[in-house]
Amino acid sequence: MSGKSFSFIGEVVESAVIKAPLSFVWHFIKLQEFDKFWSAISKAEHVKGTSEETDIVRWTFKDGNVIEVKQDEHSNLEHFITFSVINAEPELSYSSVVNTIRLWAVTSGEFANTTFIRWSTRFSSDADLGVIEDAKYKRQDALKDLSKAAEKMLAEEKK
């Protein structure tokens, strides 16, 4: 993946309401913490020897695939993270992909004290429909796993 600019046409957006306060969910939204909730990842680790300004994390998936993700943006105030895949083994069939995960606290109504989460993934124009459909299911699974982890943390806190 070079420094070229790509037009994005394929996008996957998945969202959920997680039955835990935002602080419990936000706790997991760090690239190096994804293995703490996403059951598809066996290991998440910082990549050594990269620049001090760039946060790169290697995710090793249980199926043997490995990707390195670079944090592009992170805001503790606005509760979002944006990251892109910069390396993959095996190599990706498309040029680029950018993910943004954003959280909002639900403050009133029947869902008060829960978290709304939105995970959007934008693919370069050379990503085929199979890639986009696969991403949709993987994001759904990840959000289910995140919900379980945050709700478990909340239950343990209440003990």
Task: Quote the pLDDT of residue 7.
Answer: 53
What does the pLDDT look like over 80-105, one tens digit per residue? 999 999 999 999 999 999 999 999 99
Residue 41, helix vs strand vs coil: strand
Q: Whole-angstrom Cα distance, residue 132 to residue 18? A: 24
What pTM value is reported for the model?
Answer: 0.90
Average pLDDT over residues 1-20: 77
Cα–Cα distance between 12 and 119 in angstroms, integer? 8
Class of 12-158 per CATH?
alpha beta
Q: Is the pLDDT of residue 47 over 70?
A: yes
User: What count of other Cβ atoms lies within 10 Å of the Cβ of residue 92?
Assistant: 19
For 61, counting Cβ atoms within 10 Å of its Cβ (0-12 exposed, 13-18 middle, 19+ buried), the class is middle
Pairwise CA distance, residues 118 & 56, whole Å: 22
Cβ neighbours around 97 below 10 Å, total:
25
pLDDT bucket at 159, cuts 50 / 70 / 90: confident
Q: What is the predicted pLDDT for the residue at 48?
A: 77
Q: Give the strand order in the sheet containing 80-89.
A: 8-18, 114-124, 97-106, 80-89, 66-75, 56-61, 41-46
